[in-house]
Amino acid sequence: MERTSAIVLAAGHGTRMKSATTKVMHPLCGLPLVHFGVRAALDAGCEDVIVVVGHGGAEVTKYLAGAFRAEPVRTAVQEMQRGTGDAARVGVAAVPTDTSRVLILYGDVPLVRGEDLRAVAGPLDDQSTPALALATCLLEDPTGYGRILRKDGRIAEVREHRDLQSDDERAVREINAGIYAASVGVLREALASLSPNNAQGELYLTDVVAFASNAGERVAGVALREDVLAGINDRDQLAAVEARLHARIVRQWRLQGVTVRDGARIEAGVVLEPDAVVESGAVLRGTTRIARGAVVDVGCVLTNVSVGEGARIKPYSVATDSKIGPRAHVGPFAHLRAESDLAEDVHVGNFVETKKTTMGPGAKANHLAYLGDGVVGEGANIGAGTIFCNYDGAQKHTTTIEAGVFIGSDSQIVAPVTIGKGAYVATGTTVTRDVPPDALAIGRAVQENKEGYAPKLRARFAAAMARKGK
């Protein structure tokens, strides 16, 4: 293929979103809107992608630089939003000199895929080489779209809805979908010819069509399916397009062997392996990865979490920025906060909270515990009600529990402290000093039993109640 550059127009604010956030930064299945057009252009095989930014440009540029770090994606700034034609001029000015072909798309049409873009560029590969091709679509209700006006069956121009001059023109159901492929020479000439001679006083990219056809060039129309062309101008359209995108994501994973129950939510950046199970009400966000055969049960919310093969995340567990090893069991009702790293076969049970804590293979904390800033060794067992007291009001400190340690229930471990390999901490102990390997640490008040004392107590209480009653 000839060297092709893509231009994504994304400089408008998107007034109808009624938001402080610029339109193309609104998330769609977890990724900003602008992501999708750029991805499609790369998937189509474009050698570079130039995103024309304006409103919120710094934020968009920052996002793209991070998300497409390894790919040829750049931004060009349109200082004033003078229309799509002006934006295209800004984009074309940034195109490398050895580019021979340009694809232009709008940043607010996220369902378009690489294959759709390739289809639009297809006619340019033809022997009869038209200099310009554009995506079209027949709509039941074309209101608001630019219409394709033909002469003797050939595309003669695109006229914006507001500029239509007759009922005949308004009745035209063939619309301009907003995706163009052109040879760069013709495009440069056509863009130079634009004038703001229209209802909005803007430079319309669509006027390149009339320019090319008047110059005797053949303009090819490529019909695309309506469901990939839906654009986003307001939040109702955002929700509708998100629902379609989500259905596409779920279908793709199901066809790859994943069980995704109705009612699960899976964002666009998530990766699932065959035989994984995602139950209803589970929400998988960000860069979450679920390995083979792992189960994410009802109501779990996982954000940037990797789950190993065969692990089970039981209902209503919440995990963020964490790793869960193969065959581990988590939950129900567990909370793994950032930087929790559970090795294989770890068990973390109900009402256990971990934060910045690693747990070695087979370590267990099955009930009601807070493990913050901890290092827990292989096979250690943390009893119910254990608390790692990691915060002294000023700084966080680390608790180190070595392999094979047993911590009895209701113990407080006051960090910084190390409990040596194989040591045993008696139930109810407050550990404030290091415990040597294989030692027993016990720190609690000595119990005293007073024989026959309970009836005396009961009599005393009864008397007190009787006095109160009078």
> Cβ 28 to ligand UD1, closest distance in Å?
14
Residue 81 site contact among ligand UD1, Ca ion, none (CB < 5 to 8 Å, cut-off depends on kind): ligand UD1
> Cβ 31 to ligand UD1, closest distance in Å?
16
Q: Give the burial string for 118-128 (b: 16+ CB within 10 Å, else e).
A: bbbbebbeeee
> Between 84 and 411, whose beta carbon lies closer to Ca ion?
84
> Cβ 93 to ligand UD1, closest distance in Å?
14
> Between 11 and 363, whose beta carbon lies closer to ligand UD1?
11
Catalytic residue among 161, 246, 367, 397, which? Answer: 367
Torsion of CA 170, 175, 177, 181, to 10 degrees: -120
> Between 134 and 342, whose beta carbon lies closer to Ca ion?
134
Tokens of 446: 């000595």
- Chain position whose Cβ is nearest to ligand UD1: 146
Residue 9 site contact among Ca ion, ligand UD1, none (CB < 5 to 8 Å, cut-off depends on kind): ligand UD1
What is the distance between the alpha carbons of residues 326 and 238, in angstroms, rounded to a whole number? 37
> Cβ 19 to ligand UD1, closest distance in Å?
14
Do you find a cis peptide bond into 196, omega within 30 degrees of 0?
no
What is the distance between the alpha carbons of residues 201 and 4, in angstroms, rounded to a whole number? 31
Torsion of CA 356, 362, 366, 368, to 10 degrees: -20
> Cβ 42 to Ca ion, closest distance in Å?
22
Residue 6 site contact among ligand UD1, Ca ion, none (CB < 5 to 8 Å, cut-off depends on kind): none
Q: Are strands 174-183 and 101-106 parallel, antiparallel or unpaired?
A: antiparallel
Tokens of 157: 């121009």
Assess whether 397 carries a catalytic annotation: no
> Cβ 105 to ligand UD1, closest distance in Å?
9
HSE-up of residue 464 (Cα within 13 Å, Cβ side): 6
Residues in contact with ligand UD1 by CB under 6 A are 9-12, 52, 78, 81-84, 86-87, 106-108, 145-146, 158, 160, 175-178, 204-206, 231
Write the DSSP assignment of 204-254 as a string of letters. -TTHHHHHHHHTT--EEEEE--HHHH---SSHHHHHHHHHHHHHHHHHHHH
Q: Which residue from 27, 196, 231, 286 is in contact with Ca ion, where contact means CB under 5 A?
A: 231
Write the DSSP assignment of 338-352 as a string of letters. TT-EE-TT-EEEEEE
| Residues that contact Ca ion, how many (by CB under 5 A) | 1
Residue 87 site contact among Ca ion, ligand UD1, none (CB < 5 to 8 Å, cut-off depends on kind): ligand UD1
What are the CA-CA distances from residue 91 to residues 48, 63, 251 (Å)?
11, 19, 35
Asked if 293 interacts with Ca ion (CB under 5 A), we say no
Radius of gyration of the chain (CA): 32
Q: Vertex 194, ends 188 and 195: CA angle to 5°?
A: 160
Residue 10 site contact among ligand UD1, Ca ion, none (CB < 5 to 8 Å, cut-off depends on kind): ligand UD1
> Between 199 and 442, whose beta carbon lies closer to ligand UD1?
199
| Contacting range for Ca ion; rule: CB under 5 A; set: 229-237, 290-298, 310-318, 385-393 | 229-237
> Between 23 and 355, whose beta carbon lies closer to Ca ion?
23
> Between 160 and 279, whose beta carbon lies closer to ligand UD1?
160
H or E stretch at 77: strand 73-77
Residue 204 site contact among ligand UD1, Ca ion, none (CB < 5 to 8 Å, cut-off depends on kind): ligand UD1
> Between 10 and 307, whose beta carbon lies closer to ligand UD1?
10
Per DSSP, helices labelled H in 104-146 are 114-121
| Contacting range for Ca ion; rule: CB under 5 A; set: 2-10, 47-55, 216-224, 225-233 | 225-233
What is the distance between the alpha carbons of residues 402 and 275, in angstroms, rounded to a whole number? 35
> Cβ 233 to Ca ion, closest distance in Å?
5
CB of 250 within 8 A of CB of 264? yes
Residue 277 site contact among Ca ion, ligand UD1, none (CB < 5 to 8 Å, cut-off depends on kind): none
Please report, as ranges, the residues that interact with Ca ion according to CB under 5 A: 231
Catalytic residues: 367
